[in-house]
Amino acid sequence: MLTNVTGIFYHPSFSRRSYLTQGSRLRHFPRVIEPLLRDPRFRLFESPMVPEDLLLRVHSAQLIREVDRDPLCSTGRRSAGGVVLAGETVARGEIRNAFAFIGAGGHHSGRTFFGGSCCFNDVVLAVQHLRDLDLLHRFAILDTDAHHGDGTRQLVEADPDVLHVCVCHDTYESRDGTKVDVPAPSPYDRFSNREVSSDVDFLYADAALSAFEPRVRRFRPDLIFWYFGFDTHRGDYGDLGLSGTCYTIIADRMKELAEELCSGRLEVVLGGGSRSDIARDVIPPILGILGGVSIPPSSAFSSS
């Protein structure tokens, strides 16, 4: 059993072609994390194709045909397959937690629609797969991508055994308290676009964790998903003025919550973000937190 190992799920196609960028946002990977891959606390898995029968459990046949015809979704099946395999490997206790790279996103994909750089709903497919295997049944999702996870929300809206907290632009809470939207703080004045706060990393992390933590404690999930988009980083397309500091604050707390509530079962799923330099700088520290290795943002890894 590899219970103290962090699984990293990846496929070379994610570094060659991605729906989420012009060129390749992951062009520095896996080279930039080779020091981690030599550490026994980490293990690299190749993301497989997602099974067809599983796709049909979540998406309509028409959506699947449309995704397969879209050349920008060429990595969609492997992206979803890696997220699904990561969830299963964590659930079986073969690894303690996981980070799933993707080439195409998931949270804007619903039963019959997709778009916004998303093809198949990777997280919901993983949830369905784990239930089909009778491994885990109750799940919590924190979505900190820059945009609302409308596809995920549609697919889990009526499911009381999925807690879905989305940090986006609105304020909303379902009657049963399991579907929640909280507005993301911004450092910019909405009229002048001038920066008005230099503490946005801490404001954003506090907004996300204050919304998620008390609810997930009451909810007691079997596994926690963190849908992590670095599109919120300063200079990326969903710019909220954030830096890697914000992501490491959230990663630390998510790992602690998973250890406390569900035997460490945490899967971080890469969401939006387009810039390869930002990906290179902010992803290795999150991997380090998952595996218990200290890697500050903009470390020596980023010079690779």
Tell me how many domains the chain contains: 1
Confidence label for 295 from pLDDT (cuts 50, 70 and 90): confident
- The yes-or-no verdict on residue 183 having pLDDT over 90 is yes
Name the nearest CA neighbour of 143 among 228, 27, 20: 228
**% of residues, the chain, pLDDT over 70:** 90
Burial class (CB in 10 A: 0-12, 13-18, 19+), 132: exposed
**% of residues, the chain, pLDDT over 90:** 85
- The yes-or-no verdict on residue 48 having pLDDT over 80 is yes
Structure tokens at 60: 């309509």
Is there a domain that residue 197 lies in? yes
Least confident span in 5-19, 130-144, 288-302: 288-302
- The yes-or-no verdict on residue 21 having pLDDT over 50 is no
- The per-residue pLDDT for range 196-246, each reduced to its tens digit, is 556 899 999 999 999 999 999 999 999 999 999 999 999 999 999 999 999
The pLDDT value recorded for residue 304 is: 45
- The yes-or-no verdict on residue 301 having pLDDT over 70 is no
* Cα R_g (the chain), whole angstroms: 18
Rounded to an integer, the average pLDDT of 10-22 is 75
Burial class (CB in 10 A: 0-12, 13-18, 19+), 17: middle
The pLDDT value recorded for residue 89 is: 98
- The yes-or-no verdict on residue 39 having pLDDT over 80 is yes
Residue 45 phi/psi, 5-degree rounding, is: -115, 145
Please report, for residues 1, 121, 138, the alpha-carbon distance to residue 94 in angstroms, rounded to integers and kept in the order given.
5, 24, 19
- The per-residue pLDDT for range 96-112, each reduced to its tens digit, is 999 999 999 999 999 99
- The per-residue pLDDT for range 239-287, each reduced to its tens digit, is 999 999 999 999 999 999 999 999 999 999 999 999 999 999 999 999 9
Q: How do 172-173 and 162-168 pair as beta strands? A: unpaired
| Residue span of the structural domain in which 205 resides | 6-303
Asked whether 6 and 99 are in contact (CB, 8 A), the reply is yes
151: DSSP letter: H
Is there a domain that residue 48 lies in? yes
Q: What is the CATH number of the domain that holds 248?
A: 3.40.800.20
The pLDDT value recorded for residue 22 is: 45
Is there a domain that residue 1 lies in? no
Is there a domain that residue 211 lies in? yes
Confidence label for 186 from pLDDT (cuts 50, 70 and 90): confident
What are the start-end ranges of the H helices in the chain?
13-16, 34-37, 52-58, 61-69, 76-91, 122-132, 150-156, 200-219, 244-261, 276-291
- The per-residue pLDDT for range 65-85, each reduced to its tens digit, is 999 999 889 999 999 999 999
The pLDDT value recorded for residue 300 is: 43
- The yes-or-no verdict on residue 169 having pLDDT over 90 is no
Q: Is this structure's pTM higher than 0.75?
A: yes
- The yes-or-no verdict on residue 303 having pLDDT over 50 is no
Structure tokens at 82: 């890696």
